[in-house]
Amino acid sequence: MFRVMPIVGVRPQFIKAAPLLRLLDEDDEVELQLVHSGQHYDYEMSKLFFKELGLPDPVENLGVGSGSHAEQTAHILLRVEKVIEKYKPDVVVVFGDANTTLAGALAAVKLHTPVAHVEAGLRSWDMKMPEEVNRVLTDHCSQVLYAPTETAVRNLRREGIPDSKISLSGDTMYDLLLKHMTDIEKSDILKRLSLDGEDYVLMTVHRAENVDVPERLSNIISAVLKLDRLKLVFPIHPRTKNRLKEYKLMKKIKEAKHIIPTDPLGYFDVLKLIKHAKTILTDSGGMQKEALILKTPCITMRDRTEWIETVTLGGNFLVDADEKRILHAAQRVIENPEIKDRLKATPNPYGDGRASEKIIKDLKSRWCSGILDGSTNKF
């Protein structure tokens, strides 16, 4: 049996891992040893996704919860080490760029257990972002790197990672979206929010660089308070909720008639909202891609993006946390429906919807041919 230990812990990882987990779970040659770090623990941030996406139960939940970066990373490291020693996986699979990703990879590599990184090679070239630190370090201690795009492959080569370790897989988030198109359409979220037939904007914000800096979060909120020609749906991430209360901005949001604040929503609901929105305002990485795939213009409240294809293909506008630029971009997109029409003709840079199958096939063939061997230290 091929023992595979995927490690997940935050909301976007449940989504990135979902199609892979399902295939691994059904595979008779695989012993699936799913581990949940517990970095995200609220029902709406974790359990909801396991339920909605039909994910298998983890063999262990490490219950690390919240904390500073050092605390969170260290707690995951300590606990993952014990779990790897107990289950002795042939490979540990980590996803994306969260603290769970880095800690899982570090614990494994130090025990000479091979690490596969799904969504490798993404770069924002900004080491102030905790996610960038996690990505770079994880890529450099992984034995197999599954890059979602050509750009990601180029980034890895630029950093001297040998071709033998890199595999262009496509993006597992695209696999998931394709599989669930019908479920997404079936979501009744528009009705639940009384938005049927109405034009609206969808907004999310959660990155530390935006929500932990009072001035930046105030600029963003100031902009959306002025964007009152359309309804604005705002599912609020727990980190953001804490900061909005701390900076005394929550009251303004609740008082604004055009803003619909909600708890974090499930996958089908959010995707339905993205699909039918005039535009989305976000700092999420995943939503930039999902908007491009669903042909909805995206306005990203960051000064750069690691998902560069979304910009070069004309679907994403970078405006930073700058009130004037947010307002200007939103008005331009809302008043120019041809932007949305133009997006209908853009190619999809995220593969053919079979990234998860390719990853499993590649992992198995490396394992069978003995290349996946941490003890040889050929990292």
Contact positions vs ligand UD1 (CB under 6 A):
10-12, 39-42, 45, 66, 97-99, 130-131, 206, 237-239, 242
The whole-angstrom separation of Cα 199 and Cα 195 is 8
The whole-angstrom separation of Cα 375 and Cα 377 is 5
For ligand UD1, the closer CB: 32 or 236: 236
Nearest to 37 by CA among 7, 6, 5, 67: 7
Nearest distance in Å: CB 375, ligand UD1: 30
112 is catalytic: no
CA angle 78, 79, 85 (to 5 degrees): 95
The whole-angstrom separation of Cα 130 and Cα 359 is 26
The single residue of 206, 237, 258, 276 carrying the catalytic annotation is: 206
Nearest distance in Å: CB 296, ligand UD1: 20
Nearest distance in Å: CB 340, ligand UD1: 26
314, two tokens? 């004309």
Nearest distance in Å: CB 124, ligand UD1: 11
Nearest distance in Å: CB 259, ligand UD1: 21
Q: Is 96 left (phi over 0), alpha (psi -120 to 50) or beta?
A: left
Q: Regarding beta strands 279-282 and 200-203, do their DSSP bridges make them parallel or antiparallel, or are they unpaired?
A: parallel
The beta strands (E) that lie in 222-308 are given as 231-235, 259-262, 279-282, 298-300
The whole-angstrom separation of Cα 142 and Cα 108 is 9
The whole-angstrom separation of Cα 41 and Cα 117 is 23
- Unique residue bearing structure tokens 């979206």: 177
For ligand UD1, the closer CB: 70 or 345: 70
Nearest distance in Å: CB 265, ligand UD1: 13
72, two tokens? 């969170």
Question: What's the chain's length in residues?
Answer: 379
The beta strands (E) that lie in 143-218 are given as 144-147, 166-168, 200-203
Residues marked active site are found at 206
